[in-house]
Structure 1
């Protein structure tokens, strides 16, 4: 379009001066006089420069010109004799004529000036592409403080020491201590790594520069390295300062591990390594990184002198969950029946983000009931909504299906209640939610860090309890135990392959590599022979069969309690652990 405009503008210089630009017919002066004499001309307009234009009697427009330097008095008489309408064109002012003559040149010059300014703007944008996109917190800091980060006293102390070193470097220097240059926070998603960084920005008395790892990588090679240089140059000017890089795995991937190399990412990482502890290392600058994937980071990035400290921020413990719930419950009205200790005990495996979502879902359930006060039922339903999914009342079970689910869940609950090492039963329900037709929930009294062989064997029996109940009552099994079998098989495999709990395999552990915080198992090659694999498979099958036989034996010996609990479930649809204990006690008292 631009080239077409230039060509059209330049074409103005080559339009003949006498051209009208229309479709008028050119007629010679002698022919014009002949047409006038033949009464074929209707009107003419005579310009001061001798140009003649007009219209024939048939409506055709024409143009002609008066011969320069020749006086022809007969022409005016001829026009008057044949009644031709005559008009004269006014002469244009000299200034306007001059401007019109220079108009094409003015247009072309203006066009080239516009093109030059546009090119300069584009070059300016390209020149700024290598600038870092970090957000600086200096005078206006976030309102988040360490008081807003509930629990995690150890990680907060680690981070606080780094900030304190920047504030009081002399105190550490007198003791001969060298301050850390980098601190890497790792942990599952939602545990509060970024929240802790915001607290550092809110409480640190030094400039805080925040940037994400993905902002360094662009399609142009060298841009990432340029942004790293610009980021650290800005941090040095503000030293002492803190640079926070969220999701640092975006630029810190191991080099040489990819089938196809990424020069841009490698150059960015190399520049990061040089800035943190290279030939000209940054002084007075501490780098705080956060990632969910420490296993993919380059070893050169993790060595002392770069990231001196690695702080693991795991899923919160029960005590920390209670503190997190207390923080997120501020400003909300809680009913007297809400015990946050019970809520914390019933949320093992929840991250800080999950707990915040639990509080919000509870508030939504309260609003749905037309209340602004949150009660225990709101928390219970919110927890089920998060763990199991939406409860759809339209997904009703057939009567025989409902009975089968009640038998299945009663089997789980009874085996759990009768097992020595089993966790207490908290709730049993046969209301479908999400993909689950029924659920038996167990809540540990205390959080465990080590699991004994007895506890794991009881866990296998509890998982097989639903299938065992179907065998005892119906004499056949159904597809309802699919998830139970998958979980039991995974647990038995770890008992044999990793925990050394098989006499046939022996005290050998074929464990996987360090687990990832994002879940899932890493794909690794098998480090043992095919015969060992067959032995592991046989031992896994043996453990599962023994667990099933044990569950069947327990339920057969307590068949009356199984039937009573099934009837109670069919009647009330949801019961708690006290109901399970009550059924067992009643059956025991009835027996002689």
Structure 2
């Protein structure tokens, strides 16, 4: 796919905050609730014996003068509690700031029974005085117990494995749920046979595999294969990631490895699956960094455990990584990981089968052809295909439909490859013409070059970082690329810039992405593939293989001289120059088709590859003057638009 790039800043989502766990709330609610309960009980004790009607001091004196008071109890703080002649209990308060010396004679004159007491009693006074100290001491004791529990239980939990244990009845994934990859299934099916009947191997004197490591790009289903093995064998499945062993404390990772294998022995026969094993299985003796001692101890313990358990114990270790070049050689030797199974990107047939699996339970229109979609998605992994089907379903929901049409899958593919279509990113009329000419150049050269892949779609609608795109679909899955194919590929890559030079007489910034891709292809032709007649059959491939799923980068250290580098640069420039001149010559020869195709693109915005071929066949029909693309300078045209 070729197109015009438009830079833009990415938007990073803000991670949601994590709410406190219920266990943390209960640890604090217990002491707080106990404190509230204690205060409530104390309040009940201090208010015991009080009750009835509360009178002001004036009303109290009036009741005494009327002879309605039968008995009173007065404490040293002036609090009064008493009983009326009709048996009603009451309370009042004598104001100590006033002269109330006449109150006692008045009470005696009306024959009121008087009782004098001190406020509260000894028990209540003791509780009130001791309560703050008791609360402080209790709180400190509770904190101490929590700390001791964290030290004893927490540190013991530190050394425990964080493996997720799935018992025998839990795994439901089978090999039938994994589409394609028949060779990989055959490789790991022997692991299932060993777990089902280990005595067969023992009787024949064959040693069962101790470990199987699956290597492949991200999203190819390595974890799914491990679950399928567990489901087929109907044995416990202990799943853990490599990062779960890494801690800042030395020795914790090794302890977790021991605990993991102890759990596996208790549940034997069983499978131990370590995802992203490169987190702990990296080469030893590398550059010293923080935590290197802990990582090496963890790796040493893993090596000892894999070399130490009984061969007939029924434990198989499976691992997955997309960085096999970083693993320690001791981990990959026979006796530990006996087999290295490569899980590559699916081919066209396998992609069709994977789409069928992910499409189960969804409603598709009759025009949906999974074979055609598989052909249009070279380089897609299983995870990419699952995302493609999900995006198509979302697109159908946006249109208020429950049935997924072929157009939804095409839109989803553009969404995955190019990005979201920006309706607000409208192009100026002059820019639309420039993009149409650019993409017409790509499309025509892809049709004219003998070894180029056929054109499937051409569009000038902005999407993501591209202002337009020309999509090419290979007729078959390619594994080898000839020099003729690569030269045609360079010609098609430079077709957009060549079209701008033919029509407008100058280039633009829209060819930046095309130039970068073409330069990379030409560099690899000269430096890696030995396809240069000047440099000869010499290849300077990268000394260290790239991680699976990553693009090849520059060599960390050049294994050749500056003179060789100068020769490489000259050959790259020669290849690119020849490809550009070839593209310009072809487009000048077919200038009528270029103008007609650019006009069609400007009017329709998106066209199929069949229209490109039809335009070439009808090239002899000249365009009217008013329908031709303006051949003035590109800079002047865009300048007028602004």
Give me the TM-score of the superposition, normalised by structure 1.
0.82
Deviations 1:101-138 (A, max 9, x none): 98799768756754553344222222222111112222
In structure 2, what is the equivalent of residue 225 of structure 1? 254
Relative to 1, partners in 2 of residues 1:397 and 1:284: Cα closer, same or farther, differing over 3 Å? Answer: same
Is the contact between residue 592 and residue 622 of structure 2 (CA under 8 Å) also seen in structure 1?
A: no
Secondary structure in 1 matching 2:467: coil
Hey, what's the Cα distance between the residues in 1 that align with 2:75 and 2:366?
A: 104
Residue correspondence of structure 1 range 19-418 to structure 2 within 5 A: 45=76, 88-90=116-118, 110=138, 114=142, 117-122=145-150, 123-260=152-289, 262-278=292-308, 283-418=313-448
Mapped pair 1:580 → 2:612? yes
Structure 2 residue corresponding to 1:448, chosen from 478, 483, 491: 478
Q: Is the 8 A contact 2:438 2:495 kept in 1?
A: yes
Coordinate RMSD, CA, aligned: 3.1
* Alpha-carbon separation, structure 1, partners of 2:351 and 2:199: 38
Q: State the match for 2:523 in structure 1.
A: 493
Q: Shift of residue 521 of structure 1?
A: 3.5
How far does the alpha carbon of each residue in 1:409-439 deviate from its partner, in whole angstroms, 9 at most, with x for none? Answer: 1111111111110111101111111111111
| Inter-partner Cα distance in structure 1 for 2:129 and 2:305 | 63
In 1, Cα distance between equivalents of 2:128 and 2:398? 75
Cα distance, 1:111–1:468 mapped onto 2, change above 3 Å: closer
Structure 2: distance between partners of 1:381 and 1:102: 76
Gaps of 5+ in 1: 1-42, 48-53, 60-75, 81-85
Aligned length: 526
The CA deviation at 1:289 is 0.4
Q: 1:406 to 1:135 in 2, by over 3 A?
A: same
Deviations 1:509-562 (A, max 9, x none): 000132211414465211000100000000000000000011111111111111
Contact conserved, 1:468 with 1:552, CA < 8 A, in 2?
yes
Return the TM-score normalized by structure 2.
0.76
Q: Aligned residue for 2:584?
A: 552
SS of match in other structure, 2:466:
coil
Q: Which deviations, in whole Å up to 9, do the C-alpha atoms of 1:352-390 show, x marking residues without a partner?
A: 011011111111111111111111111111110111111
1:290-333 residue CA offsets vs partner (Å, 9 max, x unmatched): 11221211111111111111111111100000000000111111
2 CA distance for matches of 1:56 and 1:572? 100
Aligned equivalents of 2:253, 2:524: Cα separation in 1: 43
CA distance in 2, matches of 1:115, 1:587: 88
Rounded to whole Å, the distance in 2 between the matches of 1:567 and 1:279 is 73
Identify the residue that residue 31 of structure 1 maps to in structure 2: none
Flag the structure with more relative contact order, 1 or 2, with Cα contacts below 8 A and sequence separation at least 6.
2
Residue from 541, 547, 562 that aligns with 2:573: 541
Maintained 8 Å contact 1:325/1:356? yes
State the 1:212 CA deviation.
Answer: 1.2
**Alpha-carbon distance in structure 2 between the residues aligned to 1:168 and 1:552:** 68
CA contact (8 A) 2:194 2:201 kept: yes
TM-aligned CA distance change 1:547 to 1:55, over 3 Å: same
Please report how far the alpha carbon of residue 205 of structure 1 lies from its aligned counterpart in structure 2 after TM superposition: 2.4
1:517 aligns with 2:557: no
More divergent stretch after superposition (517-526 vs 365-374): 517-526
**Partner residue in 1 for 2:561:** 529
1:463 aligns with 493
**SS state at 1:525 partner:** coil
Secondary structure of 2:214 counterpart = strand
- Using the TM superposition, give the Cα deviation of residue 283 of structure 1 relative to its aligned residue in structure 2, in angstroms: 4.2
Q: Match of 1:288, SS?
A: strand
Residue 637 of structure 2 is matched in structure 1 by none
Q: Is the 8 A contact 2:207 2:311 kept in 1?
A: no
CA contact (8 A) 1:186 1:290 kept: yes
After superposition, the Cα gap between the structure-2 partners of 1:330 and 1:90, relative to the gap in structure 1 and judged at 3 Å, is: same
Q: For residue 562 of structure 1, what is the aligned residue in structure 2?
A: 594
Structure 1 residue 572: Cα displacement: 1.2
Q: CA deviation at 1:99?
A: 7.3
CA distance in 2, matches of 1:91, 1:485: 97
Rate the CA distance shift 1:472–1:114 in 2: closer, same or farther, 3 A. Answer: closer
Counterpart contact for 2:75–2:117, Cα < 8 Å: no
SS in 1 for 2:239: strand
